[in-house]
A and B are shown apart, each in its own frame.
Chain A
C-alpha cells in the first residue's frame, strides 16, 4: 500500500535521556526551528527530514516524557501533541539499556493507534554492558518495525530513512486490559480515557476513581511488558566500567561531597583567572576603537555620541563575555555529563531542611548564570511549596549580571596579583560572594517558608541517568546561543541605557548649564584654563546635567550607605539589570574618551571626594556596594518572570521588598562597621 504521501509529520517521542535529541540532530541537520510553545516554557523543536523515497516531511522533537499520564509540563506538551497528531508517524526512541522501562511509554502511545516505528538507540552502549536485544523477536512481539541506531556514532540513520516511507498503517496491537474497556473499540475508548486523564492533570484535580484507573492500567501494561522483555532481552554480567566506578565515588557520602566542593572551588578560580587576559584584550580593543573615531571623525555631537555613548556602552557589555562563557562552559559540562543529578542526590536532605528540594539545585545552579530562565526551570519541581520557595530564592544566587559588578568592585578593593599561598585573592573574594549568595538563598528560603502553605502530598522520584562523556558539539552550540542571548538581550538594554545616559549627561536645564559655561569662558578669557580647571568645569557640568540632578535627588536616601549622587545614577539605571551599573559608571566617567589609556578601574581609583579630598571608592563604600548588589532585586525581568510563574502579584512584591530591604539594611551596617 503506497500511502506515504498522506503522512506529513514525523514525531520523535521517548523518555528523557534516551538520545532522542542527538537523533533529531542527525535526521534534521542544522536546519532547525526552535520556538516556545505558547503559555509554556517548553521548547518546540522542528525540522525537515528527507526520506529515502525522496519525500520531505516535517520532523518534530517532542519533549521527553515517561508517561501519557502527565506529571510535568513536558509530559503535558508531549501528550497533547500525540493526542492531536494526524497524518503522522511516531518514531519512538528507546534506550536499549533500559528497554523495559522505556516500553511503558511506548505501549501507551502505541494504543493511540497511530503508525509507529521503534528505534532502539544506544545499542553500542548496551552491547558494552552485555545487554543483547533480539530485535527480530521484539519486532514480532510488539508488531512494529524496529530499527537499531547509535545516534552518537551516527549509525542506523539511513536505515530509519528507508523504513519510514513504508510505515503508514495504524498500529494494531493493544496493551489495554481487555476487561477495562469491554464495550466497543479499544483504541477509541482508550483515547477517551487518556483525554479524561489529561484534563484532570491540567486542572490539577485527580479523582480517586481516575487514579485507580491509572494504576490498574499501568499494572496491566507492566505485566505485559515484563513478559516481552524477558523473552527479548539477554543480559550477561560485565566487568564494572570505569565510568561506573567513578560514579560510585561521585555519589559517595564523603568522596562525593569532597569532589563537589573541590569542583566548585576550581570553577570559580578558573572563571577569574582564565578570563583576565581576554578581558584586557577587549578593553584595549575598544579603547583603540575610541581613539580611532576621535582621530578620524570631526569633533562634535556625533563624535561624542559614538565614543562616549555607543563605544563605551558596547565595551561595558562585551568585556564580560569571557567570564560568562567560561562559567556557562562549566555548567554545560555538569549538565551534559549528568553530574547535576548527582548533585541533587547529595544535597537533597540538606535542601529539605530549608523547604527546598534536591531538584532546586538545578534552578539554583542555573541562577549562577541568570535568574530568568532558572525561575522558569523550577517548573520541573512537582512539589508546589518547594517550587515556590525555589522561585523566590533563585534571584539571590550570584547571576552572571552581578559578575561584571563584582569584578569591577573587587578589582578596586584588592590590589592586583595579590596571592595567599597559591590562591588569587580576587578569586577568593569572588568565591566568598558566591558563597554569600548561596547561604543567603538558603536563609531566605527559611524566611519565605513562613509565607508558604503546602497541603498536597508530593513525591520525589528522580531518575539518575548514566554518567557519560559530554557531547562537545551540543555543548558548544549551546554556549554560542547563550553568549548571543547575553550580547543581544542584555546588550540591547545596556546600549539603550548608555545612549539615554549620554543624553542626560550632556544636557541639563539650559540656563544653569549656560551659567557654568559662561563662568569658565570668562576665566578662559583672562587666562588659558589649567588642567585642573578643565576637570572642575566638567565635574560641574555633570552635576548640573539632568543625570546629575537625578542622582542628587536620591542622594539623601543612599547617603547612609556611603554612596554619592554619581553612584545614585548607576543604582537607578541598573534597576533595569545589574550589569548596567558598570556601563553607567563607564558613561559617567567617560572612559572610552580617555587619552591616557586608563580604564574605568583606574578612573574610579583616582576619584576623590571634592569635600574631603579622600578617595570616593574607599573600602567601606566598595564593601557596601558589593553587599547591596548581592541582595537587592535589581532586575526588572526577574520581577516580570516571577509574576508570570506564580501568577500572583503577591510573590514578586514580597520578593522585591524583602531582598531590597535586606540589601539596604546590610549595606548600611557594613558601611558603618567598616568605617570605624
Chain B
C-alpha cells in the first residue's frame, strides 16, 4: 500500500518509492537513502510527531513533517 512517510506510525517498516523534491532527494542520497531501500520509523517527536527519526541500515536521520510529506513509501509490515 502506497502512502506518504509523514503519516507513518512508530515502528512501521517501509520501502522508499520516491522523494518528490529534488533538493531533499539529493540530501537524502548522500546518506544512502536511495530508491528501493527499507526504512524504519524509529520514533516520532512530542508535539504532534514532528520531526521523526527514520532509520536505514545503521544511519538514523531526523526529518521534518513538511519534508516527509513529499516522500512516497510502501508499507512492508507493522
Q: Which residue numbers of A lie inside 8 Å of B, CB to CB?
A: 66-67, 69, 71, 97-98, 100-101, 104-105, 129, 131, 211-212, 214-215, 218-219, 222-223, 225-226, 248, 251-254, 256-257, 341, 344-346, 348-350, 352, 358, 457, 459-464, 466
Given contacts A66-B31, A348-B51, 12 further A-B contacts (CB under 8 A): A104-B30, A215-B25, A215-B26, A223-B34, A248-B43, A251-B53, A253-B43, A253-B44, A345-B43, A349-B51, A459-B67, A466-B58
B51 and A457 contact, CB distance less than 8 A: no
Q: Which of B2-52 contact A (CB under 8 A)?
A: 22-32, 34, 42-48, 50-51
B45 and A348 contact, CB distance less than 8 A: yes
Contact of A348 among B27, B59, B64 (CB under 8 A): B64
Given A104-B29, A215-B26, A464-B53, check contact A344 B62 (CB 8 Å).
yes
B43 to chain A, nearest CB (A): 5
14 residue pairs from A and B, CB less than 8 Å apart = A105-B30, A212-B22, A215-B22, A219-B34, A248-B43, A252-B43, A253-B46, A257-B46, A346-B46, A352-B50, A459-B27, A463-B60, A463-B62, A464-B61
Q: Which residues of B contact A226 (CB under 8 A)?
A: 34
Residue B75, interface by CB 8 Å: no
A219 and B29 contact, CB distance less than 8 A: yes
A215 and B29 contact, CB distance less than 8 A: yes
Q: Which residue of chain A is the closest to B44 with respect to CB atoms?
A: A253
B54 to chain A, nearest CB (A): 10
A459 and B23 contact, CB distance less than 8 A: yes
Q: Which residue numbers of B lie inside 8 Å of A, CB to CB?
A: 22-32, 34, 42-48, 50-51, 53, 57-64, 67
Provide the bound-state CA to CA distance between A214 and B26, in Å: 8
Provide the bound-state CA to CA distance between A543 and B8, in Å: 71
Provide the bound-state CA to CA distance between A251 and B52, in Å: 10
Provide the bound-state CA to CA distance between A572 and B31, in Å: 51
Provide the bound-state CA to CA distance between A345 and B34, in Å: 23
Q: Secondary structure of the A side of the interface?
A: helix
B57 to chain A, nearest CB (A): 6
A307 to chain B, nearest CB (A): 56
B19 to chain A, nearest CB (A): 10
B57 and A349 contact, CB distance less than 8 A: no
A101 and B32 contact, CB distance less than 8 A: yes
Provide the bound-state CA to CA distance between A253 and B46, in Å: 5
Given A211-B23, A222-B34, check contact A358 B58 (CB 8 Å).
no
Given A226-B34, A348-B50, A349-B51, check contact A463 B29 (CB 8 Å).
no
Report which residue of A215, A253, A341 has the largest number of chain B beta carbons within 10 angstroms of its beta carbon.
A253
A250 to chain B, nearest CB (A): 10
B63 and A460 contact, CB distance less than 8 A: yes
A-B interface, 5 closest residue pairs, ranked by CB to CB distance from nearest:
A101-B32, A253-B46, A349-B47, A464-B60, A462-B62
Provide the bound-state CA to CA distance between A69 and B22, in Å: 14
Provide the bound-state CA to CA distance between A137 and B23, in Å: 34
A77 to chain B, nearest CB (A): 17
Q: Which residue of chain B is the closest to A235 with respect to CB atoms?
A: B57
Q: Which residues of A contact B48 (CB under 8 A)?
A: 349
Provide the bound-state CA to CA distance between A226 and B38, in Å: 13
Q: Which residues of B contact A252 (CB under 8 A)?
A: 43
B43 and A218 contact, CB distance less than 8 A: no
Contact of A457 among B23, B25, B28 (CB under 8 A): B23
Q: Which residues of A contact B46 (CB under 8 A)?
A: 253-254, 256-257, 346, 349
Given A459-B23, A460-B51, check contact A345 B62 (CB 8 Å).
yes
Given A101-B57, A341-B62, check contact A460 B47 (CB 8 Å).
no
Given A254-B46, A345-B53, A349-B51, check contact A460 B62 (CB 8 Å).
yes
Provide the bound-state CA to CA distance between A331 and B43, in Å: 25
A460 and B67 contact, CB distance less than 8 A: yes
Provide the bound-state CA to CA distance between A594 and B47, in Å: 56
Contact of A463 among B31, B44, B47 (CB under 8 A): B31
Contact of A461 among B24, B44, B57, B58 (CB under 8 A): B24
A233 to chain B, nearest CB (A): 9
A98 and B59 contact, CB distance less than 8 A: yes
B31 and A222 contact, CB distance less than 8 A: no
Provide the bound-state CA to CA distance between A257 and B29, in Å: 31
Provide the bound-state CA to CA distance between A466 and B57, in Å: 13
Q: Which residues of A contact B45 (CB under 8 A)?
A: 251, 253, 345-346, 348-349
Provide the bound-state CA to CA distance between A461 and B26, in Å: 11
Q: Which residues of B contact A212 (CB under 8 A)?
A: 22
Report which residue of A67, A101, A219, A466 has the largest number of chain B beta carbons within 10 angstroms of its beta carbon.
A101
A459 and B24 contact, CB distance less than 8 A: yes
Q: Which residue of chain A is the closest to B50 with respect to CB atoms?
A: A349
Q: Which residue of chain A is the closest to B47 with respect to CB atoms?
A: A349
A461 and B31 contact, CB distance less than 8 A: yes
Contact of A101 among B22, B25, B47, B59 (CB under 8 A): B59
Provide the bound-state CA to CA distance between A129 and B46, in Å: 29
Report which residue of A66, A212, A461, A463 has the largest number of chain B beta carbons within 10 angstroms of its beta carbon.
A461
Given A345-B62, A348-B62, check contact A100 B57 (CB 8 Å).
yes
Provide the bound-state CA to CA distance between A344 and B50, in Å: 12
Provide the bound-state CA to CA distance between A101 and B26, in Å: 13
A97 and B47 contact, CB distance less than 8 A: no
Provide the bound-state CA to CA distance between A147 and B71, in Å: 37
Q: Which residues of B contact A248 (CB under 8 A)?
A: 42-43
A71 and B27 contact, CB distance less than 8 A: yes
Contact of B58 among A67, A98, A457 (CB under 8 A): A98
Q: Which residues of B contact A67 (CB under 8 A)?
A: 30
Q: Which residue of chain A is the closest to B51 with respect to CB atoms?
A: A348
